[in-house]
Structure 1
Amino acid sequence: MSFSNPMGNKSQNPAVVDINNFASPVAQGLNDPHPLESRVANWKANEEEFNLRMLQRTQGLAAPLRRVMDAKIVEQSTFVPSIVGGPSNLSLDILKNEDARLDWEDVYKTESTIDFHQEMQKRMGL
């Protein structure tokens, strides 16, 4: 085995190791997310899709379409300023069958309270 050309082609000289690409397969293997992590991240969307499919199987195509349309209308039309107590989205919770569920967001509000004018500016995109 000859090592006379250390900068030669890698396939011809097995002693030459590319330091830049040496750790990349190991890093890619460590940084790949676990398959269960993607399921947990999309849990709510997957659950809603499953419920709509079951509704379609039992009541036909019109029922899930009507439910999705009603939910979009309620999402777009519901506006209660946070100074009055903020949006409760009770109608949306009823449409999504979440009215009896108590989540983390129900107890601990994530958004800080802003005044009415700031909220309207944010809503109008000003």
Structure 2
Amino acid sequence: MSMLRREFGIAEPIRRGMEVRICQEGEWRPAVLGYKGEGVHEEILSGRDSSVDWEDVFNGEFCCRGKCEEGKANDGDTGNETQNAPDFHSEMENRLKMNW
């Protein structure tokens, strides 16, 4: 940010900080879809839009031959990342404060 400030003045780092904050507050996907981590907009603003990391592809537990990273037996299936997620409708009602 200091390089941006020297190059473009004080307005550019402030504008980028505001854009990052807006992206963090506005980015939301339900847990049923397995959303963890940053969204595309935040990756673009941070300059990581041209690389693909492990977390971009595999965002659940890493399971191999029945043993997960946390040491739990899993019988070899890898589709557990959405097993404990709330259903879409109840999560949306909670987010919009419609759960009266």
Report if TM-score (shorter chain) is over 0.5: yes
Structure 1: unaligned runs, 5 residues or longer: 1-51
The structure with the largest helix share of the pair is: 1
Is 1:99 aligned with 2:56? no
For 1:107 and 1:94, how far apart are their aligned partners in 2?
Answer: 17
Larger relative CO (CA 8 A, sep 6+): 1 or 2?
2
**Count of residue pairs the alignment pairs up:** 75
Percentage of matched positions with identical amino acids: 38
Asked whether the 8 Å contact 2:20–2:42 carries over to 1, the reply is yes
For 2:31 and 2:2, how far apart are their aligned partners in 1?
Answer: 35
For 2:90 and 2:2, how far apart are their aligned partners in 1?
Answer: 40
For 1:103 and 1:96, how far apart are their aligned partners in 2?
Answer: 14
Structure 2: unaligned runs, 5 residues or longer: 62-80
Q: Over alpha carbons, which structure has the higher Rg?
A: 1
CA RMSD of aligned residues (A): 3.0
Task: Please state whether the residue corresponding to 1:100 is helix, strand or coil.
Answer: coil
**TM-score with structure 1 setting the length:** 0.46
